[in-house]
């Protein structure tokens, strides 16, 4: 088990190093960063001086090493647009994005899993068919369209929920701002979270349904029924547990893509998160922010993957043995 | 005469498909007495498993019981509400499936599967159920049961898993066990042990057994009576010695003829020339007539019914008591 964790950690480190290389390469391929810092009439001397102070004259490898070392200390340089440390900019906006992503992931699981189970058990029921049909819409409509439709309905027509922003937030220890503790914050969260989570929810519902139908056909379910276990024990004990094993992986990977896809939702709802910051960075060729965002998102993916693997091993005893042997 | 544990009368099972209704079990009748072992043989697709499935009430749609009745100790069970039938499964009728590797839920400890089954059927607490589970594991021959009870299914070999499955089937002391090819998926070396175990446990408890198998050797050693199935019908049923030594139905004769001497007969059934008809194309009259060396005019039009013939009952026009075809059969 320990060997497995160590090996996975090493793999993760390699992945992150490659991502860092790509991020670093962005600085060099998207033009001379000095041009971003100086104006046309800056004297050439001064330009050279800036170059030197930024270490841009050093060999590439040295520069890369410096970038990695700094990244390890969460130092991603200074934003070109804002003239502020990138890390501070991201940290300031991270709570908004992470809260949005976590709430949508939770929404997609809490709604998606029961719907999947229901549609599998009541395969021919009217409601099950309706869920199936609606889920098709969910997977095929683009996120921004869903967002706009929701805004139109609940914000413009009904006026129940705000159409943009994060509402009132509360500052917690460690500088984390949360919208989960105020009514307006929670209200503001609903539409974006549903928009962002709807696709994942339908995905999870369909996955759970397919997986559950598969499991219900297995011998051990037949045998569980032959042993006279109650329908509840068979469906929600035996069948559900086996259904959820593969769902863990998908749900984990989905959390990663929810964070990545937050960009669109944040734009639609003018959500003050990292996605909006990233978009602005792209518009203004603010390489330090883009690079840091890239590294951060891949870091998240790596961490989630690792967590999923460990969770998997915790749930499935067969895997534990294979891992012990490894 | 004691009342049979299981009494099946004119059981008919049908599948309603888009292309019409298929009759997979056609008017099957048999009894199993308390403590008796009834062997059920017949080639693949004859309807052996389906009969067992219908008895324990686990037919999945589109399959359904279309006629007849099933009685357990005299009480009719084929028309019970789902939850009442559920209480009978595991408690009054146990079942052992073919493949022990897939019969146990891989995500549940062996002990937990036993404890949950015991607690479902018997009014005992968790500790008592666990004690019983350990005793059961010891009884089915699992070494170090106090430790193995917390093991996962994948930590057991195929033979050991089938022992666990047998423990699960017997844990509420049922009156009847349906064992559907309990050794087919096992290593040849452990097959005899498992059969011996099943036989011993059932004899000790007076449990009746419906033993479905392809292995005529197992039948000869284990069963008290044998039912031979063909195309959804019982074509011959009687005491094991009679049916094995003096089969009367031409299909049964073919089956038994394929074993040279019973003592060394561990092989699977050899097939009689030709193959069993598909459900959609069962011939008129006797379903066996295309393959039967003795078929005559009546076989083409009239479906034979089970009639007494010596100690057995046979569904063949050669044995309808008129003596018309007897000399041809001899
Ligand atoms: N869901 C189904 N739909 C249609 N026909 C079915 C279905 N399930 C079983 N049958 C048919 O019922 C017949 C009896 O099947 P059964 O499984 O009882 O055979 P068996 O005697 O147990 O054979 P085997 O030795 O292969 O286990 C077969 O012809 C099979 O094709
Ligand atoms: S009824 Fe006729 S065809 Fe059928 S087994 Fe007997 S002799 Fe053969
Ligand atoms: Mg079968």
Best mutation site among B72, B107, B153 for testing chain A: the one with the most A CBs within 10 Å? B107
Write out residues with Cβ below 6 Å of ligand 1.
B 15, 22, 24, 42, 44-50, 63, 279
Report the distance separating Cα B173 and Cα A316, nearest Å: 31
Question: A197 has which bridge partners?
Answer: none
Q: How far apart are CA A195 and CA A189, in angstroms?
A: 10
**In this structure, which CATH number among 2.30.30.180, 2.40.50.100, 3.20.20.190, 1.10.3720.10 belongs to the domain A86-325?**
1.10.3720.10
Closest by CA to A63, choosing from A89, A84, A33, is A33
Per-residue pLDDT tens over the stretch A280-295: 888 888 888 888 888 8
pLDDT of residue B269: 42
User: Using a CB-CB distance cutoff of 8 angstroms, which residues of chain A are in contact with residue B155?
Assistant: 321
Longest dimension (CA), chain A: 87
pLDDT in tens, B189-239: 888 888 988 888 888 888 999 999 988 888 988 999 999 999 999 999 999
CA distance B40 to B214: 8
Among B247, B248, B285, B299, which is best to mutate for testing ligand 2, by the most ligand atoms less than 8 A from CB? Answer: B299
Beta strand B176-180 with B208-212 is parallel
Pocket of ligand 2 (CB under 6 A): B 249-250, 286, 288-289, 292, 294-295, 299, 304, 316-318
B186: nearest Cα among B99, B247, B60? B99
Residue A82: per-residue pLDDT: 81
Nearest 5°: phi and psi at B180? -95, 100
Q: Residue B243 has which token pair?
A: 């049916």
Q: What pLDDT, on a 0 to 100 scale, did the predictor assign at position B214?
A: 84
- What ligand 1 atom has the least distance to the C-alpha of B278? 29
Cα of first residue to Cα of last residue in chain B, in angstroms, is 33
**Chain A interface mutation, best of B103, B171, B175, highest count of A Cβ atoms under 10 Å:** B103
3-state SS class at B122:
coil
Out of A222, A317, A321, whose CB is closest to B107? A317
Chain B residue numbers touching A318 (CB-CB < 8 A):
106, 152, 154
Binary contact (A233, B56; C-beta < 8 A):
no
Distance from CA of A324 to the nearest CA of B (A): 13
CA distance A220 to chain B (A): 4
| Residues of chain B predicted below pLDDT 70 | 1, 258-272, 321-330
**Backbone φ/ψ region at B124: left (φ over 0), alpha (ψ -120 to 50), beta:** beta
pLDDT score for B265: 44
Cα B50 to ligand 1 centroid, rounded to whole Å: 6
Q: What is the DSSP string of B227-247?
A: EEEETTEEEEEEEHHHHHHS-
Sort out which chain A residues have CB atoms less than 8 A from B106's CB and list them. 220, 242, 316-318
Place of tokens 């008796």: B36
Q: How distant is the Cα of A226 from the closest Cα of chain B, in angstroms?
A: 6
The helix or strand, by DSSP H or E, that contains position A171, with its residue range, turns out to be strand A170-171
Q: Which residue has the tokens 């017997």?
A: B170
Beta strands in chain B (DSSP E): 6-17, 20-32, 37-41, 63-72, 75-76, 93-96, 176-180, 208-212, 225-230, 233-239, 307-309, 312-314
pTM: 0.82
Listed as ranges, residues in chain A with pLDDT below 70 are 1, 30-33, 36-37, 320-326
Q: Which two tokens stand for residue B8?
A: 């099946």
Chain Cα centroid distance, residue B156: 26
Instruction: Report yes or no: B59 and B13 within 8 Å, Cβ to Cβ.
Output: yes
Identify the residue whose C-alpha is closest to ligand 1 atom 29. B45
Contact A242 B91 (CB under 8 A): no
In chain A, where the domains are located: 86-325
Contact B77, B58 (CB under 8 A): no
Which ligand is closest in space to the CA of residue B13?
1
């Amino acid at each position: 088990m320990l060997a497995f964790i160590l090996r996975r950690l090493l793999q993760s480190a390699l992945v992150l190093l490659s991502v860092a290389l790509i991020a670093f390469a962005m600085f060099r391929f998207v033009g001379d960063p000095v041009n971003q810092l100086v104006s046309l009439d800056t004297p050439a001397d001064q330009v050279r001086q800036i170059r030197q102070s930024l270490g841009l004259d050093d060999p590439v490898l040295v520069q890369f090493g410096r970038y990695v070392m700094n990244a390890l200390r969460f130092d991603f340089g200074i934003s070109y647009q804002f003239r502020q440390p990138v890390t501070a900019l991201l940290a300031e906006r991270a709570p908004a994005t992470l809260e949005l992503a976590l709430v949508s992931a939770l929404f997609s699981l809490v709604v998606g899993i029961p719907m999947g189970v229901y549609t599998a058990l009541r395969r021919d029921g009217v409601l099950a068919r309706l869920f199936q049909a609606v889920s098709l819409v969910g997977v095929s409509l683009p996120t921004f369209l869903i967002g706009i439709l929701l805004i139109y309905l609940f914000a413009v027509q009904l006026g129940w929920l705000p159409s943009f922003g994060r509402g009132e937030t509360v500052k917690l220890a460690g500088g984390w701002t949360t919208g989960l503790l105020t009514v307006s914050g929670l209200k503001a969260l609903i539409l974006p979270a549903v928009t962002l989570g709807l696709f994942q929810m339908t995905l999870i519902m369909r996955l759970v349904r397919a997986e559950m139908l598969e499991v219900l056909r297995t011998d051990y379910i037949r045998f569980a029924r032959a042993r006279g276990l109650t329908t509840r024990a068979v469906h929600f004990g035996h069948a559900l547990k086996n259904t959820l094993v593969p769902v863990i992986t998908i749900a984990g990977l989905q959390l990663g893509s929810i964070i990545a896809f937050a960009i669109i939702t944040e734009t639609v709802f003018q959500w003050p998160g990292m996605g909006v910051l990233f978009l602005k960075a792209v518009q203004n060729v603010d390489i330090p922010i883009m690079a840091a965002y890239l590294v951060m998102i891949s870091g998240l993916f790596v961490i989630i993957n690792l967590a999923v693997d460990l969770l998997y091993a915790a749930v499935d005893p067969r895997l534990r043995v294979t891992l012990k042997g490894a | 005469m004691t009342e049979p544990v299981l009494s099946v009368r004119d059981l008919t099972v049908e599948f309603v498909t888009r292309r019409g209704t298929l009759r997979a079990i056609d008017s099957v009748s048999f009894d199993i007495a308390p403590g008796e072992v009834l062997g059920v043989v017949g080639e693949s697709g004859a309807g052996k498993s389906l009969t067992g499935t219908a008895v324990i009430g686990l037919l999945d749609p589109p399959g359904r019981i279309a006629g007849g009745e099933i009685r357990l100790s005299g009480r009719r069970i084929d028309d019970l509400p789902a939850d009442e039938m559920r209480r009978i499964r595991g408690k009054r009728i146990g079942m052992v499936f073919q493949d022990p590797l897939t019969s146990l839920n891989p995500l549940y400890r062996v002990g937990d599967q036993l404890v949950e089954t015991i607690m479902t059927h018997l009014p005992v607490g968790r500790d008592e159920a666990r004690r019983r589970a350990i005793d059961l594991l010891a009884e089915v021959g699992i070494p170090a049961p106090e430790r193995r009870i917390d093991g996962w299914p994948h930590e057991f070999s195929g033979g050991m898993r089938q022992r666990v499955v047998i423990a699960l089937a017997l844990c509420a002391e049922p009156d009847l066990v349906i064992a559907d090819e309990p050794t087919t998926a096992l290593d040849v070396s452990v097959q005899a042990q498992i059969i011996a175990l099943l036989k011993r446990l059932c004899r000790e408890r007076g449990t009746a057994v419906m033993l479905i198998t392809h292995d005529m050797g197992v039948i000869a050693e284990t069963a008290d009576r044998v039912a031979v199935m063909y195309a959804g019908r019982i074509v011959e049923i009687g005491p094991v010695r009679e049916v094995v030594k003096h089969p009367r139905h031409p299909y049964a004769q073919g089956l038994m003829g394929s074993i040279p001497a019973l003592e060394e007969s561990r092989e699977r059934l050899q097939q009689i020339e030709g193959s069993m008809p598909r459900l959609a194309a069962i011939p008129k009259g006797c379903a066996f007539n295309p393959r039967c060396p003795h078929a005559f005019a009546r076989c083409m039009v009239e479906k034979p019914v089970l009639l007494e013939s010596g100690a057995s009952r046979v569904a063949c026009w050669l044995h309808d008591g008129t003596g018309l075809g007897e000399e041809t059969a001899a």
